[in-house]
Structures are given as C-alpha cells and as structure tokens.
C-alpha cells in the first residue's frame, strides 16, 4: 500500500504568531468568556503580559518547567499565553489526579514551580510539603490563605510584552499521556509543533471568524484547548465552562450562541441519555466535532437525529494532535462511512505497515504510522522509548491498528496493546463492542482478554445497561454470534454499573484486565 497523503502545502507558524495576529486584527472583539465575564483580545493580551512580567519578578526564567494546577477558568488562556511569551515550558496537571500521581509527574518533568488557583491551593500546599525545592505561585489567592503558598501579584506588573527571545524549536509544552499502557509519559511539543497543530485545525476541521464561538466544557489541558489559538487568530471566541453537565452545557450553547462544540463520545451519550439536547435551543450550532475515543454507532445515529448532519470526526493522539485523519460533515451523510475515522489530513503522510514497517496491501490490518509537522518532539527524558516510537525511516508509530479502503478512508481496528489472542486467533475488542452496542439495553461496554488455561486469553465483556433496561448473557452472546465469527463471541459477560474511563472519556481496558488478572 502506498502512503496516504494530504493535498495541501504544509505550513509552519510558531504558536505566538497566532496570538499576535488575533490582537492586531480583532483587538476590541470578544475573545474569552467565562461565566458572566468577557475579555477582549486586547485584554487577554494585556493580562498575559502582566502575568508574564509577574513571572519574571518571581524569578522564573526561559526554559523553566512550570506546573499548572487548576481547572478551566478566566485565567486559563492568559496564563497559557504568558508562559509562551516568557519561553516557559508549561506542564498541565489534571486536578483530579491523586497527590502521589501529581508528585511523580512533577519530579519526572523537573517542575520547579507550580501555578495554582484558589480551589487547588490545598493540594499545592501538600505538594509543597512533600517536595523540597518546589515553589508555588497562587492565582486569585489571598496572601493569608494559610497554605504557605506565594501569590502571583499582577496589580503592579509591567504591561509590555516580556522581552524573551523564543525560537520555533524551543519546548513549549510537556503534556502527560498514558495511552492504554497506564504509564504516564510526558509528550514534548515546541512552539513550532504547537503552531502546526493550529494550522492543521484551520486547514482540516474548522474555518472560524468574528462571530464564531467554540464552547469548551472539557478541560483545556487536552484536545479542547488546541482550538483556542486558531479561534484567537481568526477573531472567534472561546466560551469556557468550568466542566461538563448536560443541562448546563445545552443552556450554554443557547446563551453564548455557540457555533462549534467539541465532544468526546461519552459526553455526547450523556447529552442524549439525559434528554437535555432534545429540548434545547441549538439553532446556532454549525458543527459538532468529536474524537478522543471511538464513537459507538448507536450514539452517532441518535446524535444525527437530534443535532442534524453537522458532525465531524478527528482521529489523533497527544503525540500527534489534533487531526491525523478527518471524517468530514459531508462524509457523515454516508452512513456506510460511520465506521471510518476518515482520510488523512492535508498536512499528513500516513501508512499502514506490518511488524517489519513494510506497508500492507489495501484492506489488510497493520499499524498506522505518521509523518506530520505537528508530531511531538519526543517524550521527555525517555531516549529508549523515543527510539521505540520511531521507525528507522522516520515515521511515528501510533500503536493503533487499522486498515484502509480503495478510496483512502481509514478504519481504526484497535490499539495493538488491546488485541486479544484467543486460541491462536486475533480479536480486536472494538468490533465485539460495536456488536454488543447494537442491543438497545447496552449503554456502554468494554471487551478484554481474561487469562485462560485453554484459550490463553478468553474474550470477556463488561457491560453497563441503560436505566431500567434488561439483557442476559446468552442474549448478548447470540447477538455477537450473529455478526462475528464464533471465536470472537465473549466467553463470559459481566454486568457492571459503569465502565472505567480516563478523564477524557477513553475506556480504561487496562483496569478491567487488571481485575481479571488478580482474580486469576
């Protein structure tokens, strides 16, 4: 199979240029909204300059690793811009993680200072006590808050942009990802690769302008946050929510006149199951973007009924965000393509290769491998892992198994690490999960391999039923048997209240495997 290649010329715009363009062209327009407060482009820029000056006064210097410990707020975008202008390397930290996890992240990423908000002051104080040499700077915190943390005071900070020479290849972001392995890894993105992410989004996913509003309910740490720069450069607004709750989310669509939203499949399912979307005023919406994990077909079918044909899917990874492939709104009009993750983006070269890194024929399963300007610089302090993630001829290994068709559409099969080998046959969990989700009583499910003396691994399904719905193990096994080969039918079906998920909604099959292994 030849490499699947996008058509447009590749551009490389450093991340800060998107900020400067937005301020120069849309200064008085509304740039960021949080609650009942709105900041213009000029106000965001001024605030980021003052924060940057306060960073300098606090002794932070170019290249220093700064942990960011807070949720979505009015501060989020200005602080991000300030770190960029100062040449700092930001290390976002999910506030939902345990103290032990955060402490390990800080140590492995060589973080010297934490910037936190008021709600996270207690956790910052815990980390300060555990890690000698760590400093903390509080945003919106009172000096006498009793935590022992210093306060970042911007009231008297200089208003001009920090005078720091920032080069395109300078590291800008260390973003932690665990993939499906359970091992936290810090992905390094530079000012150039992060700018390339914004270029990729504008070329392949959205075309914002003044009047465009992206509603953010997911954490700006991950995929949702990558939309901030492209919207800022084009004059669009980021309407930021503190979190996701179905009724509050659809109310915010109407209140902010949101034109685009970015959802993970779990969020869309919650919207539909709650009934909130069916009663909402959604006329402003032009595009519903989804990604981060596979979309169950029944959820997409219901979504199309409620929202209309305005869905657009991206496939990407923290190592190569945001859109390696895209299934466009036009593609979604063909239900036969709903199982695809789309075709390669305009700035992507993609190949599907076997274990020797040789491209496989069209239609055969292999690992997706990628070349693109937005591919990570590498994992931080992980030379051995970085060597494993690159082929000898320079392609990034995604560890995702897929196949392509004659028209260049790519079909994600599963993570290579999730593949089940039962009786010598390969079973990809997603195809079994898709079959189970055909049953109207199944709200969500995950399929893993259980240790087995006869089969090596026995296909095992964990199933969460919809409220007041019923299904039996034999019933679900027969449903799978009707659509797939016999060796793919679950040997057992376990009914659970919910499937464990990561903070961005990805199924945590590793937790289910660990449960089965402990039982064995």
SS3 string, 468-503, reads CCCCCHHHHHHHHHCCCCHHHCCCEEEECCCCCECC
H helices present in 352-490, as ranges: 383-389, 429-436, 473-481
pTM of the model: 0.83
Give pLDDT tens digits for 429-488. Answer: 888 998 999 999 999 999 999 988 777 789 999 999 999 999 999 999 999 999 888 889
At residue 349, the 3 state secondary structure works out as strand
| Per-residue pLDDT at 130 | 93
C-alpha count within 13 angstroms, C-beta hemisphere, residue 488: 19
Q: Which two tokens stand for residue 473?
A: 């193990």
User: Which CATH superfamily hosts domain 4-401?
Assistant: ANL, N-terminal domain (3.40.50.12780)
- Could you tell me if 261 and 289 are in contact, meaning their C-beta atoms sit under 8 angstroms apart? yes
| Per-residue pLDDT at 395 | 97
Give pLDDT tens digits for 193-205. Answer: 999 999 999 999 9
| Per-residue pLDDT at 144 | 43
d(CA 226, CA 222): 7
| Per-residue pLDDT at 147 | 54
Between β-strands 213-216 and 171-177, what pairing exists: parallel, antiparallel or unpaired? unpaired
| Per-residue pLDDT at 50 | 93
Residue 287, number of CB atoms within 10 A of its CB: 20
d(CA 339, CA 37): 41
Residue 261, number of CB atoms within 10 A of its CB: 29
| Per-residue pLDDT at 183 | 62
Q: Model confidence at 378, in pLDDT bands (50, 70, 90)?
A: very high
Lowest model confidence (mean pLDDT) among 129-138, 178-187, 310-319, 347-356: 178-187
Q: Model confidence at 2, in pLDDT bands (50, 70, 90)?
A: low
SS3 string, 78-125, reads HHHHHHHHHCCEEEECCCCCCHHHHHHHHHHCCCCEEEECCCCHHHHH
| Per-residue pLDDT at 461 | 97
| Per-residue pLDDT at 142 | 52
User: Topology of 419-519 in CATH?
Assistant: GMP Synthetase; Chain A, domain 3 (3.30.300)
| Per-residue pLDDT at 429 | 87
Higher-pLDDT residue of 96 and 360 is 360
Q: What percent of the chain is modeled with pLDDT above 70?
A: 94
Predicted confidence (pLDDT) at residue 219 exceeds the cutoff of 70: yes
Lowest model confidence (mean pLDDT) among 227-236, 387-396, 478-487, 489-498: 478-487
CB proximity list for 313: less than 8 A, separation 6 or greater? 289, 290, 291, 295, 326, 327, 332, 341, 342
C-alpha count within 13 angstroms, C-beta hemisphere, residue 102: 24
Name the residue ranges covered by the structural domains of the chain. Answer: 4-401, 419-519
Give pLDDT tens digits for 297-349. Answer: 888 999 999 999 999 999 999 999 999 999 999 999 999 999 899 999 999 99
Lowest model confidence (mean pLDDT) among 111-120, 282-291, 412-421: 412-421
Predicted confidence (pLDDT) at residue 158 exceeds the cutoff of 80: no
Predicted confidence (pLDDT) at residue 4 exceeds the cutoff of 80: no
At residue 47, the 3 state secondary structure works out as helix
pLDDT, the chain, mean: 90
Give pLDDT tens digits for 11-69. Answer: 568 999 999 999 999 999 999 999 999 999 999 999 999 999 999 999 999 999 999 99
Predicted confidence (pLDDT) at residue 416 exceeds the cutoff of 70: no
């Amino acid at each position: 199979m030849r490499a699947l290649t996008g058509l447009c010329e590749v551009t490389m715009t450093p991340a800060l240029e998107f900020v400067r363009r937005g301020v120069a062209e849309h200064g008085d327009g509304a740039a960021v909204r949080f609650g009942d407060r709105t900041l213009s482009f000029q106000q965001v820029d001024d605030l980021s300059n003052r924060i940057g000056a306060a960073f300098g006064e606090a002794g932070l210097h170019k290249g220093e690793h700064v942990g960011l410990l807070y949720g979505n707020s009015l501060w989020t975008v200005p602080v991000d811009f300030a770190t960029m202008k100062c040449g700092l390397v930001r290390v976002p930290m999910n506030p939902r993680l345990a103290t032990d996890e955060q402490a390990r992240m800080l140590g492995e990423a060589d973080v010297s200072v934490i910037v936190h908000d008021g709600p996270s002051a207690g956790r910052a104080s815990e980390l300060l006590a555990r890690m000698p040499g760590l400093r903390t700077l509080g945003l919106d915190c009172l000096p006498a808050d009793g935590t022992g943390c210093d306060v970042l005071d911007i009231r008297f900070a200089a208003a001009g942009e920090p005078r720091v020479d920032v080069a395109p290849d300078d590291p800008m972001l260390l973003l932690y990802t665990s993939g499906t392995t359970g091992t936290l890894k810090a992905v390094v993105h530079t000012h150039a690769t992060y700018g390339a992410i914004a270029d990729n989004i504008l070329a392949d996913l959205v075309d914002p302008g003044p009047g465009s509003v992206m509603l953010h309910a997911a954490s700006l740490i991950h995929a949702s946050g990558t939309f901030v720069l492209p919207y800022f450069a084009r004059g669009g607004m980021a309407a930021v929510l503190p979190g996701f709750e179905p009724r509050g989310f659809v109310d915010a669509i109407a209140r902010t006149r949101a034109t685009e939203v970015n959802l993970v499949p779990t969020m869309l399912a919650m919207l539909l199951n709650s009934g909130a979307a069916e009663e909402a005023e959604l006329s402003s919406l032009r595009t519903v973007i989804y990604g981060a994990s596979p979309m169950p077909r029944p959820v997409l079918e219901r979504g199309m009924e409620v929202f209309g044909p305005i869905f657009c899917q991206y496939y990407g990874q923290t190592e190569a965000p945001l859109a390696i492939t895209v299934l466009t709104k036009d593609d979604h009009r063909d239900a036969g393509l709903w199982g695809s993750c789309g075709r390669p983006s305009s700035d992507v070269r993609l190949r599907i290769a076997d274990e020797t890194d040789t491209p496989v024929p069209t239609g055969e399963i292999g690992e997706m491998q990628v070349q693109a300007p937005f591919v990570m610089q590498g994992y931080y302090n992980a030379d051995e892992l970085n060597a494993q993630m690159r082929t000898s001829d320079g392609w990034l290994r995604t560890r995702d198994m897929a196949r392509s068709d004659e028209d260049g559409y790519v079909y994600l099969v599963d993570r290579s690490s999730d593949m089940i080998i039962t009786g010598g046959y390969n079973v990809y969990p997603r195809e079994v999960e898709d079959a189970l989700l055909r049953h109207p009583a199944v709200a969500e499910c995950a399929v893993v391999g259980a240790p087995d003396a006869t089969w090596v691994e026995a296909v095992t399904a964990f199933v969460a039923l919809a409220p007041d719905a019923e299904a039996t193990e034999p019933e679900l096994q027969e449903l799978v048997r009707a659509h797939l080969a016999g060796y793919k039918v679950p040997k057992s079906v376990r009914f659970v209240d919910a499937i464990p998920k990561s903070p961005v909604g990805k199924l945590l099959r590793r937790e289910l495997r660990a449960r089965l292994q402990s039982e064995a």
